[in-house]
Amino acid sequence: MADADAKKEIIKNAIRGVPDFPKPGILFWDVTTIMLNHQAFQYTIDLFTEHYKDKKVDVVAGFEARGLIFGAPLALALGAAFVPLRKPGKLPGEKISEEYKTEYSTDKIEMHVGAIQPGQRVVLVDDLIATGGTLAAGINLVKKAGGEVVEAACVIELPFLNGRVKIPDTPLFVLVEKEGL
């Protein structure tokens, strides 16, 4: 069995860089290639699970789209509920929402009213933290619902974009750091 550093190296090597996406001059780190490598995908979930197994997590909330892919298996492994944080128009019924700015645009996330109960301990999961806008919006959404954000988790961090500045009071757990725009 590989140690944590070896697992992280396998994960890092499974991530594809796509130049000039979604616009010229951007190097997009594509985590969907992790899922093409069973071992890298398993190690990603294993490392998140090991980190959170003793933190008394009630809910894992995953951001559309790739945070859903990593968040749902983490919730199962932890025996926690899973709450999808979706883009507008994707959830039926009554919702609460939060607007935010990304490195590319202004957007909004939504979740069902009542999906997170007051006092529940929540871990937010996304594929990547860049400027921190998405995670900050998720933190605000959880707080609107009365939940407590235990921590945020991302597969990748782009430290040169200083995303942690937007979430100063929330611990962040990251598996891999990447560079380049």
Q: What pLDDT score does 48 carry?
A: 98
Q: Which residue has the tokens 């997009």?
A: 28
Beta strands (DSSP E) in 39-120 are: 59-63, 81-85, 95-101, 106-112
Pick the CATH number of 1-177 from 3.40.190.10, 3.40.50.1000, 3.90.1170.20, 3.40.50.2020: 3.40.50.2020
- Let me know if 66 is a catalytic residue: yes
Quote the pTM value.
0.95
Catalytic residue, chosen from 66, 86, 110, 157, is: 66
Catalytic residue, chosen from 9, 103, 148, 151, is: 103
- Let me know if 103 is a catalytic residue: yes
Q: What pLDDT score does 129 carry?
A: 96
Q: What is the mean pLDDT of residues 126-149?
A: 96
Q: What pLDDT score does 6 carry?
A: 97
The rounded distance, in Å, linking the Cα atoms of 110 and 63 is 10
Query: Where along the chain do its domains lie?
Result: 1-177
The rounded distance, in Å, linking the Cα atoms of 70 and 34 is 10
Q: What pLDDT score does 179 carry?
A: 83
pLDDT in tens, 70-87: 999 999 999 999 999 999
The rounded distance, in Å, linking the Cα atoms of 104 and 119 is 33
